[in-house]
Amino acid sequence: MFDFEGKVALVTGASRGIGRAIAIELAKGHASVVLNYAGNDAAAKEALDLVQKAGAPRARLARFDVGESAACAAAVEATVEEWGGLHVLVNNAGIAVDQLLMRLKDDDWNRQIQVNLSGAFHLMKAAARPMMKQRGGSIVNLTSVVGEMGNAGQAAYSATKAGLIGLTKSVARELASRNVRVNAVAPGYIDTDMTAALPEAAKAKMQELIPLARLGSAEDVARAVAFLASDLASYVTGEVLRVNGGMYM
């Protein structure tokens, strides 16, 4: 178990899937957790209950669109004012609108850029000042295996995730002198609500691409994020940690 005693974490896209698993993992280490979500109130309340039961001394929901700069700034400001600081930021919120390039609509391209890439930018920008002031913090961005290897039908999604890697490395260089670390986790095919809806034949084809011959779990990703967020990774910054079963090496 990782130790987050006395630390405050903000996790975006935390109502379900990987984001929920990350929030729970941080709570197990006794972090106070703010769970961001976009609109699914029922899922968010369920996640909040699980985080509280996992051991978070304080936990609350924060409903806002990460694509809105002002909302991101307000969320960080409220967290710092209410709980005295922000020590861990996990940029997990993301959307995928799969479509071949020739059929991809401008609005779908722009929305994925807004949420997946600009959302992380807005929150990192807002979190940088309080983290620099307290001379410490950890930011973990959720990129993807397709951000490194690409994927047909996911030009926009892949572009946002590749951009997130560049953003991670650049900001890691900017903030290192104030002991603020910035890293990324790149999941492969993970067993979530999205993949659960796929036909069995499609899942079997996915597994053929994975040397470990299975889909990953949300908990696999959560533990990697928790490591990078923790003091155990105090000498790790600008890194991309792949959690993909060997799919891309």
Residue 174 lies in a domain: yes
Question: How many separate domains does the chain show?
Answer: 1
Whether residue 157 lies in the annotated active site:
yes
- To the question of pTM greater than 0.95 for the whole model, the response is yes
Q: Buried (b) or exposed (e) across 27-49, using 16+ Cβ within 10 A?
A: bbbbbbbbbbbbeeeebbeebbe
Q: Of these residues, 157, 189, 235, 248, which one is catalytic?
A: 157
Q: Buried (b) or exposed (e) across 217-235, using 16+ Cβ within 10 A?
A: ebebbbbbbbbbbbeebee
pLDDT tens digits, 102-117: 999 999 999 999 999 9
Instruction: Determine the structural domain holding residue 146 and report its residue range.
Output: 8-242
- What's the CA gap between 223 and 206, in Å, rounded? 23
pLDDT of residue 200: 85
Residue 248 lies in a domain: no
Residue 2 lies in a domain: no
pLDDT tens digits, 149-201: 999 999 999 999 999 999 999 999 999 999 999 999 999 999 987 677 777 88
How many residues does this entry show for the chain? Answer: 249
pLDDT of residue 193: 78
Instruction: Fill in the DSSP letter of residue 12.
Output: S
Residue 78 lies in a domain: yes
Query: Alpha carbon 170 to chain centroid distance?
Result: 17
Residue 1 lies in a domain: no
- What's the CA gap between 14 and 201, in Å, rounded? 29
What CATH number should be reported for the domain holding residue 102? 3.40.50.720
Under-70 pLDDT residues of the chain: 194
